[in-house]
Structure 1
Amino acid sequence: MVFGLPALSGVLLYVSSGGQGDRHHVPSLSRGGGGKGSERYRLTVPQALLDGQYTLVKDLSQTMDDSLAGERNGRNEHNMKTVGGQYTATSGEGQQTLMAAGSYGEIDDPHHALDSTFRGMNENEGVTVTTPTKEITPPGAQEPLTCEVYAYVRSGQSGSIAVCGWSDRSTVATVSVLNGSLDLDELAMKTSRIRGEMRVRVDQGAH
C-alpha cells in the first residue's frame, strides 16, 4: 500500500471545484531529486515567493495535514507533516494563482516518494496527462525536478496545468501555476527558486 501524501493535484482540484474537492482521495507525493546527502529539511509556507512576485492568500497547511491523520507513517515515509499554500501574483501576472504543497519528515527512497506522487496525481478523476513526466535541472540548480502537464475536467471546469516537483531524504513537494504558462522549463526555474524559499535546513534528527 502506498503511503498517502497530499499532492498538488489534490489542492488544484480542490480550488478549481470551488473548495468541494475529493477530500477522501489524497494521492501520495517521479524521478527527480535524490536529495543532498544527510542534510535534513522542513517545509514552510512563506508570506511571499519569488522575491515578492506571489503573495500568500490562503495557508492550506492545517486542512492538508489533518487529512494525514493516522497515515503519517508508511513503508517509505515516516513522521510526515504536510504544508501548502495558495498564492496570487502581485502584479504583471494577470489572475495567476500559484499552488505549492508538500510533506516533510523522513523519506527512505526519495525517487519512490515522488514517483508515487505523480502516479497518484494522474489517477485523479478527470485528469489526463498531456505531457509525460520528464526530469529538468534548471541552469544553476544542483538538484533535478520532475515536471509534467495534465488536462483536467472538474465540476464543469476544464483546463491544463503544468506541475513540477522535487524529493529528497526529508521533503517531497509540488508547485504549479493556474492560468499560467505550460512551458515546463519556465516552471522548473520558478520551482527551483521556490524550493530554496520553502525548504529550510534543520539540525540532524529534527522534524
Structure 2
Amino acid sequence: MSMPPPPYPNQPQPPYGQQPPQAPGPYGSPYPQQQPYPAQQHPPQAPYPPQPYPGWGGPPMAPAPKKRRIGLVLGIVGGVVAAVVALLIVVGVVAESGFPEAENKLTLPQKLVDGRFELAQDLTSAQGRKIEDEAEGAWDAKDVVGVVGQYAVGGDNTKGVLVLSGMYGRFKNTDTARRNMLKGAAEADGVTLAVPRKDFTQDGEPTVSCEVLTQKSAGATMTYPVCAWTDGNTGAAIASMTSETAKQDPSEVDLAFYAKLTRQIRSETLKPID
C-alpha cells in the first residue's frame, strides 16, 4: 500500500528578511570608490572610499545579492520616486510678488559625485509634469520645471541606487518648503519615520535637512535616508539605498554623511540658466 504524501511537500523558502546578513564594514559604506569624496589622504589602493566620518572603510562589500533580493531593493527605491513626487504637495498660497530672479536650473548630469553614480533612467517625462502641477498649485512657486532621475553606482543597479526628485523655478519660503518635502516623504503610504529631521547648516549655502525612513515589503523592513534642500531657484529630495544600507538599524545611519553627499549633488546639478 502506497504511503500518503507528506502534508507539506513544498516547504516555503525563508523570507527575504531572514536571509543571513552579509558582512558590512564598520559603517556599511554604500558606494564603491572611484574618486575620493571628499578628497583625503588615504592610500589609493583602499578598497572602500575614505570619508570624513568615523568608521568609513573596512572589508570590501559582500557579493551582490541574489536577483530576487535585488528586485525587492529596486522595487522599494522605485516606490521612493513616487513618495518623493507625493511629498512635493505643500500647503501654501502662491503670491505675485517677492519671487527671486530665475538664475539657476536643476539638471541631470550623466555622472554624479565624482563619477561614482551614473544616470540609469531619466524619469522627468513621466514624473516631472506631476511635480510642476502640484508645485504651481501648492508652493510659493512660479515657473516650475520638474526634474526626476534615478542613478546607479557605477551604472550597476545591483550596487546601489540614488533617486533625485526636484524642480527649478522661482521659490519663496524655502525653509518651509524644504521641511515639508521631508514631512511629505514620511507620510507616504507604507513609510515610517524612523529618525526625525535634522538640519545641517553651512555658511554661504542653503540648509540641508535629512531624515531616516523605513518601509516594509514582502516581510522585510528597508531603511533609507532622505535629504532635501530648497533655495530661491531649486529644490530637490535625494533618497539612496544599497542592499547593505537597506538593512541598517535606522539609528546607525550617518545623516551628516548624507547631508554632505547632498551638498555635492547640489553643486553638480545646478547650472546657470542660459
Class of the TM-score when normalised by the shorter of the 2 chains: 0.7 to 0.9
> Partner residue of 2:239?
176
The count of residues paired between Structure 1 and Structure 2 equals 182
Q: Distance in 2 between matches of 1:72 and 1:150?
A: 23
TM-score normalised per structure 2? 0.58
Whichever structure has more helix as a proportion of its residues is 2
> Partner residue of 2:87?
27
DSSP 3-state at the match of 1:164: strand
Q: CA RMSD in A?
A: 3.2
CA 89–68 in structure 1, closer or farther in 2 if over 3 Å, else same:
closer
Pairing 1:85–2:149 present = yes
Q: Alpha-carbon deviation of 1:144?
A: 2.3
Mapping for residues 123-138 of structure 1, pairs under 5 Å: 123-137=187-201
Q: Alpha-carbon deviation of 1:14?
A: 8.7
> Partner residue of 1:200?
271
Q: Distance in 2 between matches of 1:170 and 1:113?
A: 12
Q: Distance in 1 between matches of 2:136 and 2:157?
A: 39
Q: Alpha-carbon deviation of 1:164?
A: 1.1
> Partner residue of 1:8?
none
Contact 1:164 1:188 in 2 (8 A): yes
Larger gyration radius, structure 1 or structure 2: 2
> Partner residue of 1:114?
178
Contact 1:54 1:90 in 2 (8 A): yes
Structure of greater relative contact order (alpha carbons < 8 Å, 6+ residues apart): 1
Q: Alpha-carbon deviation of 1:68?
A: 3.9
Whichever structure has more strand as a proportion of its residues is 1
TM-score normalised per structure 1? 0.74
Q: Distance in 1 between matches of 2:210 and 2:130?
A: 25
CA 56–125 in structure 1, closer or farther in 2 if over 3 Å, else same:
same
Q: Distance in 1 between matches of 2:155 and 2:130?
A: 33
CA 128–20 in structure 1, closer or farther in 2 if over 3 Å, else same:
closer
CA 129–51 in structure 1, closer or farther in 2 if over 3 Å, else same:
same
DSSP 3-state at the match of 2:206: coil
Contact 1:46 1:56 in 2 (8 A): yes
DSSP 3-state at the match of 1:52: coil
Give structure 2 stretches of 5+ with no counterpart: 1-72, 90-99
Q: Distance in 1 between matches of 2:193 and 2:212?
A: 6
> Partner residue of 1:165?
228
Contact 1:176 1:187 in 2 (8 A): no
Contact 1:152 1:158 in 2 (8 A): yes
Mapping for residues 53-92 of structure 1, pairs under 5 Å: 53-68=116-131, 70-74=133-137, 76-90=140-154
Amino acid at match of 1:116: N
> Given the alignment, which residue of 46, 52, 61 partners 2:115?
52
Pairing 1:95–2:95 present = no
Q: What do the CA deviations read for 1:3-28 (whole angstroms, capped 9, x no partner)? A: xxxxxxxxxx99427679869x7221
